[in-house]
């Protein structure tokens, strides 16, 4: 009898409409890299669809990544129809809620994965999907994601990353980071997106890593909290950022309404203003729309902040123009299983999608829904670009003074809730409604 070849492990990463990766969304690649480094025969099936189920090779173990809500249905199908019962890893509170067999990728494997996964870039098809450009059009070339640490202990109310990592941070040594960066440089991978939750969590560490890269011709994007980036700049100055090749820093503003960021357990709005006034290295402000407590007024404030400190559409690649810009709404809030706000979310608003993704509205907070329009002006010709960005005509709705946002939902039977919500939120960001 002919024996079929069997891989040790097959990792299946189901296709998802959630293409904006970060943190645990990279676990399929991190876990693959760890297993490869340990010598296992492992196959990664990326962007997997149901039609490929009969083509799956034989394996001793099947591991299915489930890190986003749009993957749920395919994950359930795979649980039912794979040759052997698979285990699931990714966003663990979601997996537990579905009562699927779970495989928790432990910190030692995460360490191995982020240490070695730059070695396997050439084998991956989709890893570059959310970090493939320098965001700013003036910089070209392929960009490669690289972790120097994984996880975040901060505990923002909306953040699934803190929940998933158990408030821990797995950290590579400075020497290992330098070796990885030198290896990338030798392979011609000089554009690096640090995918840490906060590259600047340790100012001294960040300074020593960047100092070792001065004169190496690298171009970096990094993510950092406003408080930690400000602390870094105050201690070491901005020149080390420029000299090492830091071309862009992403900072989670979320909202310019301080009461709203406080409810998120986020601090640092004053640091955001300080950085906007003092830093010349470009900042890409990350925002969140429709967090519970969002109002027309909070959207007005965020729009004014981004008008002063944000990017212009023409500066950015099309893929990222919906964030960091005056009329770009950034990511839309969604309540992840396990987060602090999840249990009370039904009292704070209503869902308009059972399969949420971060770049399309799936939840409307009552604070916005019941807010009253106090002032309206016409949409200027120069503002049409923001509506074009969301494929919305400027005459979609006519906001009326004295009416609630809810009135526009109730009175319009032809438009989807997501389009009505998006249109009115853009109007609020631009100051068309107040």
pLDDT along the chain (434 residues), means of 10: 74 87 88 96 93 89 95 95 93 96 96 92 70 79 90 86 90 96 92 94 97 95 95 97 96 94 88 96 96 97 97 87 93 92 91 89 96 94 94 86 89 82 96 96
Q: Residue 399: its pLDDT value, please?
A: 86
Q: Residue 130: its pLDDT value, please?
A: 57
Q: Residue 127: its pLDDT value, please?
A: 54
Q: Residue 136: its pLDDT value, please?
A: 81
Whose CA is closest to 289, among 197, 166, 423, 409?
A: 423
Taking the domains of the chain in order of start, what are their residue ranges?
Answer: 7-97, 107-342, 351-430
CATH 3.40.50 is the classification of domain 7-97: yes
Q: Residue 320: its pLDDT value, please?
A: 86
- pTM tops 0.75: yes
Point out which residues pair with 248 in neighbouring strands. Answer: 221
The CATH H-level (homologous superfamily) assignment of domain 107-342 is tm_1862 like domain (3.80.30.20)
Q: Residue 128: its pLDDT value, please?
A: 54
Q: What does DSSP say about strands 246-254 and 349-351: parallel, antiparallel, or unpaired?
A: unpaired
Q: Residue 24: its pLDDT value, please?
A: 86
Q: Residue 217: its pLDDT value, please?
A: 93
């Amino acid at each position: 009898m002919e024996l079929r070849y069997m891989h040790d492990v097959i990792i299946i990463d189901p296709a998802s409409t959630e293409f904006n990766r970060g943190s645990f969304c990279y676990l399929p690649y991190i876990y693959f890299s760890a297993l490869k480094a340990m010598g296992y025969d492992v196959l990664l099936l990326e962007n997997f669809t149901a039609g490929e189920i009969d083509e799956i090779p034989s394996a001793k173990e099947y591991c299915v990544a489930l890190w986003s809500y749009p993957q749920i249905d395919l994950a359930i199908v795979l649980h039912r129809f794979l040759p052997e019962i698979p285990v699931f890893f990714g966003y663990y509170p979601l997996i537990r809620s579905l009562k699927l067999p779970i495989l928790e990728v432990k910190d030692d494997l995460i360490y191995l994965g982020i240490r070695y996964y730059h070695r396997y870039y050439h084998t991956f098809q989709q890893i570059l999907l959310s970090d493939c450009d320098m965001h700013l059009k003036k910089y070209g070339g392929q960009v490669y994601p690289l972790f120097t640490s994984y996880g975040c202990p901060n505990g923002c109310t909306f953040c699934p990353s803190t929940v998933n990592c158990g408030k821990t941070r797995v950290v590579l040594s400075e020497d290992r980071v330098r070796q990885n960066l030198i290896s990338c440089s030798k392979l011609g991978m000089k554009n690096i997106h640090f995918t840490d939750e906060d590259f600047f969590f340790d100012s001294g560490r960040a300074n020593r890593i960047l100092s070792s890269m001065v004169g190496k011709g690298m171009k970096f994007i990094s993510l950092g909290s406003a408080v930690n980036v400000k602390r870094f700049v105050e201690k070491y100055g901005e020149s080390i950022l420029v000299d090492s090749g830091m071309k862009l820093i992403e900072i989670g503003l979320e909202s310019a309404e301080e009461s709203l960021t406080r409810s998120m357990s986020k601090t640092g709005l004053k640091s955001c203003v300080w950085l906007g006034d003092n830093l010349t290295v470009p900042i890409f402000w990350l925002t969140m729309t429709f967090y519970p407590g969002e109002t027309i007024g909070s959207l007005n404030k965020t729009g004014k902040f981004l008008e002063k400190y944000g990017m212009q559409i023409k500066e950015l690649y099309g893929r990222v123009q919906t964030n960091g810009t005056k009329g770009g709404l950034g990511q839309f809030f969604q309540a992840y299983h396990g987060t602090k706000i999840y249990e009370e979310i039904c009292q704070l608003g209503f869902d308009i999608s059972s399969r949420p993704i971060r770049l399309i509205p799936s939840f409307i907070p009552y604070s916005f829904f019941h807010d009253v329009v106090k002032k309206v002006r016409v949409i200027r010709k120069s503002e049409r670009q923001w509506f074009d960005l969301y494929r919305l005509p400027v005459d979609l709705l006519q906001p009326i003074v004295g009416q609630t946002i809810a009135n526009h939902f109730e009175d319009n039977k032809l438009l989807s809730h997501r389009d009505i919500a998006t249109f009115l939120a853009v109007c609020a960001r631009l100051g068309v409604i107040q």
